[in-house]
Amino acid sequence: MPRIDPEAVVRRHRIAPPPHPHWPALAPTDKAALEGRIERLLRERNAVLVAHYYTDGDLQALAEATGGCVADSLEMARFGAASQADTLVVCGVRFMGETAKILNPEKRVLMPDLNATCSLDENCPAGPFTAFCDEHPERTVVVYANTSAQVKARADWVVTSGIALAIVEHLRDRGEAILWAPDKHLGHYIQRLTGADMLLWPGACVVHEEFKGVALERLRRLHPDAAVLVHPESPDEVVDQADVVGSTTALITAVRDMDRKEFIVATDEGIFWKMRQLAPGKRLIPAPTAGEGATCESCAHCPWMAMNALQNLARVLETGENEIHIDSAIRERAVVPIQRMLDFARARTAAQGGKGGA
Ligand code: SF4
C-alpha cells in the first residue's frame, strides 16, 4: 500500500466556497410573522434552536428569545445534551448537527440546510485519514470538532478551539505524541505554545485563512488604540499580531471585559451580533481579508453558515425534512472521544472552582 500524503489528500479535497446565498430581504411585518410562525412550531414540536455565533443575527436573536442557545460548538454540544426538548434544530454547519445527534441519539436533530458544510471537514475525508492514523499507531489521535462523524469515530479525543490547548497540554504532560487534524493553523499555534510532539494534518478554514498579516499591520497603524482579537484558525502572521488569541467565546468575552473602545476582529463577522449585544458602546473593525495576495473568496463570512436563514428554518420545522442520521456503529465509536472532551472540560471547570470551562 502506498503511504498517505496528507498534502495531496487536502489538495484533492479542497473545495471553493460557494457564493454567499442571497436571501430576499423581508419586510418588517413579514419577518415578524415568520418569527411568530417559527415560535409556534417550536412549541408544537417541543423543539429548541441551537445556533452558532457565526449565523445570521436574526437567528441568534430568535434562539435566545425562544429559550434556545447561541454559543460556540462546545457549548452547543453541552446545551443539546442537557435540553429536555424532543427535537434540536441546529443552525450552523453539518458537523455541528452530527455532533448533536451523536450526543443525543434519542432526539431528532434537524438543520435548515444539510449542504452547509465546512472546508475543514471536507479537507479531511475519513478513508485517507483513517489510513494515515493507521500508519502512526504510536500517536494519540486528536481531532477538532470540525470533522465528520466517521473521522471522530477514529479519534481518541475530540477538541474545540476553547479546550484544545488544555487537552494537548494534558497529553504532553503524559508524554503522548499527537496526530492532530484537520486545522494546520490551530495545530501549529498549539504546538508553538505547548511544545508538544504534534504531527499535523494540513487542512485549513477558508474564512480564517484569508486574513492578511501585511494588511492587518496597516490597519493597526490606523487604529493604534484598538485591541486585536484573533481566532487561532488564522495564519501565524495574523496570530502573531494579536492581543487576544482564542475561541469565539474567548473573543466575545474580551470585547465585553477589556478596557478598550476599539477592537480589530479576525474571525467570521457573524460574531459581531453577540459582541454588539454584550458591548454596545464599543467599535468593532473587521480584520482585512484584502491586500497582497487576497482572494476574498469568503470575505470573512462563512458561506456555509450563511445558508441558515429564517426562511429555511421555518420550512424544516414545518416539514421535518433535513434530519441528521448517523450509522449506529459510527455513533457508538464517535461518542467516546466527544464524551472524553466533555468530561475533561467538566473536571477542569470543577478544579478551577467553577470559573474555568472551555
Ligand atoms: S468558518 Fe471556517 S471552520 Fe467555521 S464552518 Fe466555516 S469553513 Fe468551517
- Dihedral sign, Cα of residue 80, residue 86, residue 90, residue 95: positive
Picking from 145, 149, 135, 103, the residue whose alpha carbon sits closest to that of residue 2 is: 135
Interval between CA 78 and ligand 1 midpoint (Å): 20
What does the pLDDT look like over 90-126, one tens digit per residue? 999 999 999 999 999 999 999 999 999 999 999 999 9
Q: Whose CA is nearest to atom 6 of ligand 1?
A: 302
**Which pLDDT score, from 0 to 100, does residue 284 have?**
96
- Is the distance from the beta carbon of residue 302 to the nearest atom of ligand 1 less than 6 Å? yes
| pLDDT for residue 233 is more than 80 | yes
2 confidence band (pLDDT: 50, 70, 90): confident
What would the mean pLDDT of 255-267 be, rounded to a whole number? Answer: 97
Q: What is the pTM of this model?
A: 0.94
**Which pLDDT score, from 0 to 100, does residue 146 have?**
96
Q: What distance in Å separates the CA atoms of residue 95 and residue 106, rounded to the nearest whole number?
A: 18
What does the pLDDT look like over 189-231, one tens digit per residue? 999 999 999 999 999 999 999 998 999 999 999 999 999 999 9
Using the atom order of ligand 1, give the atom closest to the CA of residue 304: 6
**Which pLDDT score, from 0 to 100, does residue 298 have?**
54
Q: What distance in Å separates the CA atoms of residue 6 and residue 128, rounded to the nearest whole number?
A: 8
| pLDDT for residue 357 is more than 60 | no
Q: List all residues 6 or more positions away from 41 whose beta carbon is below 8 Å from its beta carbon.
A: 47, 314, 317, 318
What would the mean pLDDT of 341-357 be, rounded to a whole number? Answer: 81
Helix (H, G, I), strand (E, B) or coil at 201: coil
- Is the distance from the beta carbon of residue 120 to the nearest atom of ligand 1 less than 6 Å? yes
Average pLDDT across the chain, whole number: 94
**Which pLDDT score, from 0 to 100, does residue 356 have?**
47
Q: What percent of the chain has pLDDT over 70?
A: 96
Q: Whose CA is nearest to atom 4 of ligand 1?
A: 118
